[in-house]
Structures are given as C-alpha cells and as structure tokens.
C-alpha cells in the first residue's frame, strides 16, 4: 500500500472542502456547478486516490 490508512483518510477529508470551494470559485466566473456534479467530482477524486493508494509499487528492474 502506497499510503497509510491514516494518510488516505486525511487526504480524502481534504478533498471535500476543496470541491466545495471549487464550486464557489467557479460561480464567481459564472460557471454553475450542481451539487450532483460536485459529488461526482469528489467521488472520482476519492476513487482515484484510493486506487493510487492500493496499487502495488513497482519493483525496480533487475532486482530479485
């Protein structure tokens, strides 16, 4: 596992306010983002982070 469970939890918790504030910033520029789109973005980012965390690290060539 590339990230410890604690680091993964903190990173996912960090994604939530980032996505919420991204909606606010985009609204300043006239881009409307629905709550459903925000949830989809947050879920995609969280899923990507989890996949990165559990993906096995590659071993250097020639070792073993």
> What is the pLDDT tens value at each position of the chain, 64 positions in all?
888 899 999 999 999 999 999 999 999 999 999 999 999 999 999 999 999 999 888 877 766 5
DSSP code, position 38 = H
The encoded tokens of residue 49 equal: 């982070």
pLDDT of 64 reads: 55
Listed by start position, the domains of the chain span 5-54
Does the pTM of the predicted model rise above 0.85?
no
Residue 53 and residue 1 in contact, taking contact as beta carbons nearer than 8 Å: yes
Burial class (CB in 10 A: 0-12, 13-18, 19+), 21: exposed
């Amino acid at each position: 596992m590339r990230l410890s469970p604690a680091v993964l939890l903190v990173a996912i918790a960090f994604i939530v306010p980032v996505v919420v504030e991204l909606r606010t910033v985009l609204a300043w520029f006239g881009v409307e983002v629905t709550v459903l789109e925000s949830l989809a973005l947050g879920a995609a980012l969280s899923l990507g982070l989890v996949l990165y965390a559990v993906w096995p690290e590659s071993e250097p060539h020639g070792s073993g």
